[in-house]
Amino acid sequence: MPSKALQRPYEALAEARRIPGAREAVNGALDVGAVLRRRDEIIGAPDDSALIPWVESHGITLVRGHGRIVDERRVIVGDEELEARRAVVLSVGSQPLVPALNGLGDLEPGRVWTNREATTTKEIPGRMLVVGGGPEGVELAQAFQTLGSQVTVIEAQHRVLPRAEEFASAQVTAALQECGVEVLTGQSVVNFAQDRGDVVVKTSAGSTPSGDVVLIAVGRRPTTEDLGIEAVGLEPGTLVEVDAHMRVPTVPWLYAVGDINGRALLTHMGAYQARLAVDHILGHEHAIAHGADGALAPQVTFTDPQIASVVTPAKARPARESSSTGTTPSPPAPRCQTSAASTTPQTHRAQRASLSTASGES
Ligand SMILES: Cc1cc2nc3c(=O)[nH]c(=O)nc-3n(C[C@H](O)[C@H](O)[C@H](O)COP(=O)(O)OP(=O)(O)OC[C@H]3O[C@@H](n4cnc5c(N)ncnc54)[C@H](O)[C@@H]3O)c2cc1C
């Protein structure tokens, strides 16, 4: 995961600094260039050859291209039309949601980031505005702050991670602030403007934070615009709703797993749903009956400290609304102390210069 590759070096450093004996051995700052190079290795070239032997060993035929439903159990990929004997499973995922906020469309190209730009960037911006304080927003805010950006998070609810337990949200807020992140809660974006090199946000509370780029982290939308689902009476651009077997109730041969059904936007839940769908296609009746497939799904927010949230079926039955959450206990010891995250403009400029040199860009 590219976002985890940006977070992991700081997490490892912070962990070492919490442990007397190890702490003394860690003196330097994060090497931002090395962090980005490792991220590139993890993302890899656009080459999936390492996975192909696994696909082939399972007797799976891989057809490359954009698929669209054209008729009952029929999918077209380029010029090739495929017909399934039993079922078609949609697992096309989701895209960043970029709402039409006032002035956002008028900002210079390259100023508006989604998770894609954030996780593939070759440079760490000097100042970053993050709109949205959910898991994606806070994870990337902490990652960029610890890599050298001065980050401001803007969250409309009264706390970041509004769906987490309040105490967990408070610990993450404190950790972000210790790192130097400015956390603006209870205020939403009124408009964006560009003032020469600055992106300036006006918020509903009258704040006007500015940055070099703005990261929009306000949610996801399903990748269903160009999937041909209108051929089976579903609406393009919307979530594909499914039953407990991951089957579309109105189309008995069609299943949808992962982000596309909107139940739980988590990798492990998509994999779990895929097993349920396949079981059902093969004639087994397993189904999600315990309710832990939506907001109650086990999940982790990979900030430092991390938030792990787990709901067992027994707990879920009496109180489906609440979850059991824990944060990794950690002493109040130095967070963000000596990373490359000094926030002076001079440091940012120096970092950008060294990154440009390393990547050969001007
Ligand atoms: C910044 C960020 C951090 C995250 N961190 C975590 C985390 O820590 N833990 C976690 O569990 N989850 C995390 N998630 C969520 C996780 O990435 C998703 O839930 C997961 O990838 C969804 O899997 P999927 O198979 O539904 O879709 P995807 O992984 O998006 O895969 C869909 C694939 O379908 C392809 N495709 C799309 N349309 C077509 C078409 N018409 N024809 C053919 N192919 C098509 C796409 O190119 C893509 O390769 C994170 C997400 C983001 C954005």
| Ligand 1 nearest atom to the CA of residue 220, by list position | 53
For residue 268 and ligand 1, the question of a CB distance below 6 A is answered with: yes
For residue 227 and ligand 1, the question of a CB distance below 6 A is answered with: yes
Both tokens of residue 105? 């469309």
Q: Please give the distance, rounded to the nearest whole angstrom, from the Cα atom of residue 247 to the centre of ligand 1.
A: 19
Beta-carbon contacts of 158 under 8 Å, excluding residues fewer than 6 positions away, are 185, 186
For residue 349 and ligand 1, the question of a CB distance below 6 A is answered with: no
What does the DSSP 8-state code read for residue 102?
T
pTM: 0.85
Q: Per residue in 91-106, pLDDT tens?
A: 999 999 999 999 999 9
Q: Rounded distance, CA 141 to CA 147, Å? A: 10
Q: Please give the distance, rounded to the nearest whole angstrom, from the Cα atom of residue 44 to the centre of ligand 1.
A: 16
Both tokens of residue 54? 């696994």
Report the candidate in 95, 85, 93 with the shortest Cα–Cα distance to residue 274: 93
Residue-level pLDDT at 43:
82
For residue 91 and ligand 1, the question of a CB distance below 6 A is answered with: yes
If you take atom 30 of ligand 1, which residue's CA is the nearest one? Answer: 93
Q: Please give the distance, rounded to the nearest whole angstrom, from the Cα atom of residue 52 to the centre of ligand 1.
A: 19
Q: Please give the distance, rounded to the nearest whole angstrom, from the Cα atom of residue 91 to the centre of ligand 1.
A: 9
The CB density around residue 13, as the number of other CB atoms within 10 Å, is: 20
Q: Please give the distance, rounded to the nearest whole angstrom, from the Cα atom of residue 95 to the centre of ligand 1.
A: 8
Q: Rounded distance, CA 200 to CA 332, Å? A: 34
Phi then psi for residue 11, to 5 deg, are -60, -45
What does the DSSP 8-state code read for residue 192?
E
The sign one gets for the Cα dihedral 148, 30, 35, 159 is: negative
For residue 116 and ligand 1, the question of a CB distance below 6 A is answered with: no
Residue-level pLDDT at 332:
45
Q: What is the DSSP string of 222-270?
A: ES-TTS-GGGGTPPTTS-----TTSB-TT-TTEEE-GGGG-S---HHHH
Report the candidate in 323, 271, 254, 325 with the shortest Cα–Cα distance to residue 295: 323
Q: Please give the distance, rounded to the nearest whole angstrom, from the Cα atom of residue 102 to the centre of ligand 1.
A: 28
Q: What is the DSSP string of 285-346?
A: -----SSTTSTTS-EEE-SSS-EEEE--HHHHTT-TT--EEEE----S--SSSSSS----HH
| Ligand 1 nearest atom to the CA of residue 260, by list position | 26
Give rounded-to-5 percent helix, strand, coil for the chain: 30, 20, 50
Q: Per residue in 250-301, pLDDT tens?
A: 999 999 999 999 999 999 999 999 999 999 999 988 777 666 677 678 889 9
SS3 call for 176:
helix
Query: With contact defined as beta carbons under 8 Å apart, do 195 and 210 qualify?
Result: yes
For residue 133 and ligand 1, the question of a CB distance below 6 A is answered with: no
The CB density around residue 25, as the number of other CB atoms within 10 Å, is: 9
Q: Rounded distance, CA 80 to CA 101, Å? A: 40
Residue-level pLDDT at 42:
85
Q: Rounded distance, CA 295 to CA 165, Å? A: 13
Is the backbone of residue 360 left (phi > 0), alpha (psi -120 to 50) or beta? left
Q: Please give the distance, rounded to the nearest whole angstrom, from the Cα atom of residue 170 to the centre of ligand 1.
A: 29
> Residue 76 to residues 90, 226, 238: CA-CA distances in angstroms?
13, 12, 21
If you take atom 33 of ligand 1, which residue's CA is the nearest one? Answer: 92
Q: Which residues of the chain have pLDDT under 70?
A: 45-46, 289-292, 295, 312-362
Residue-level pLDDT at 317:
58
Is the backbone of residue 112 left (phi > 0), alpha (psi -120 to 50) or beta? beta
For residue 212 and ligand 1, the question of a CB distance below 6 A is answered with: no
| Ligand 1 nearest atom to the CA of residue 68, by list position | 41
